[in-house]
Structure 1
Amino acid sequence: MPELPEIETSRRGIEPYMVGHNIVRTIVRQPKLRWPVSRQIIELENASVLSVQRRAKYLLIELSSGWIIGHLGMSGSVRILPKFSEPEKHDHVDFLLSNGKVLRYTDPRRFGSWLWEYDLSLSSVLKNLGPEPLGDDFDGAYLFNKSRNKKTLIKPWLMDNKLVVGVGNIYASESLFEARILPHRLAGSLTESEAELLVATIKRVLQRSIEQGGTTLKDFLQADGKPGYFAQELQVYGRSGEPCRVCGTLIESTKHAQRTTFFCRYCQH
């Protein structure tokens, strides 16, 4: 599933081709996604693109008349292509641009979404989201205060979008490994110094992944069709049974809240 670095990579990839240009019209081949594609998107014509932003794992395309809110779901990606590129089986939505390009949304599982909102403050999918992990509001003091008396395991706690957005399965596992914290400790067991370290590590891991173009494990592609290269740097995620790159102990895996967690029992405490 595309996580925050993949969405930020996509945002950066499509922004230069969209801002300052018009969406001439849309082609919606499959309107039945996680939620039906909004009627305003299907009927969109000659709308100026003012900005391309991101909130959590949502792409936000600001138009002169409102906002397009895109989510890539479990297997989706967006690419910039020449206008007359032939669609393939899982190419569900095209945004035809005035510069002769097309923003194409591809999603084999069809679990993404394309919604319309006139005012972002009214969006039901964006409300109740926690701070951005790369922002100043997410710091050690915030994480420590939120962790007090929490009986939840640290790993699924970090993945709660009400706590902090965009720290999904891959980056929670990787960040906990680099911070040397076992994922099945209780959140309430974090010390102040561990909270400071964990926040700094999450920021560093996410930023490093963004610089590498995200993580391609199966479906994700950047806007230019290239894979994300952070997969080559993964320390624990997807490496169960393989030796830890630090100590040589075999990486273990377990299930937390229906998601597989990877860790090194020797390096993490």
Structure 2
Amino acid sequence: MRSLSICIFLILTLQVSAQQHFTDSLYKVKPRKTLNYAKKDKQDLYLDIYEPENSFKNRPVFIFMHGGGFGYGSPRNTDEVKLAKIAASYGYVAVQISYRLTRKDQSFGCDFDTEGKIGTFKLAAEDFLDAVNFMIQEKQQFDIDPEKIIIGGSSAGAEAVLSAAFNRDLLFKDAAKYENIKFQGILSLAGAIVDKCYIDEVNAVPTIFFHGTADNLVPYNTAPHHFCGKEEPGYLILDGSRSLANKLKELNTSYMLNTFPEAGHEISRIPFEFLPMVFQYFDDVFLNNQNQQIEHTF
């Protein structure tokens, strides 16, 4: 009788875990582990890894890139650490990455030329993809499933991860070295890319977008970066969240567009009040392949 009770308890526990363990804070989080994934331009680039205290195999991984205009910010910003710990408590292996801040103490505005801006996107996307490659190589150490990679970024970080997903063939002469990297989903906080025309049936990835319609740095729709004038060196047209959502809709790919009328670039902050909705979408769409095209206006 006692053995039967134990079996029933284990079955119920497994059922609860299967239903909830990526949408509820069920796990304690292990102390942060830091590993270097590359050395570039004399800089040690590192990953901060937050793991849940569970023994599941083939866990999903959530890799996030902080913002800061490619010139400042850190994976150890208070909000980034908080996000990683929340994700780990849900059962994800959560990763915050450092990358080359190539515009440190320099402008990324209208006085910085277009070619330089595109080069900045390229270097940041390269660092991001190298960090993802590193985690794939370490999949056994962290018990992660390389087919369950969810990525995210804020502002400059969002531009980098969206570029890594959708503009590889535009930015890299040889994108083949990253052909093993496939993403299950993207969280973009006030992000944009150089050209949405490079998104097709092969590389389309379900994406959650957060963006303010009055963002004066990264356009909500299709418009110049920083709204620079045509006569300025930094004039560069970008496709923002609205345009990218339209493209995914055309391709019958899942997306969630969260629009904030008249809001500015502050929507690039991590949306903690909306995280239950975000992680539910992660679970339903990114991990369980439901097709959902959703638009919210807040």
TM-score bucket (shorter structure): under 0.3
Using CA pairs under 8 Å that are at least 6 residues apart, name the structure with larger relative contact order, 1 or 2: 1
User: TM-score, with normalisation over the residues of structure 1?
Assistant: 0.26
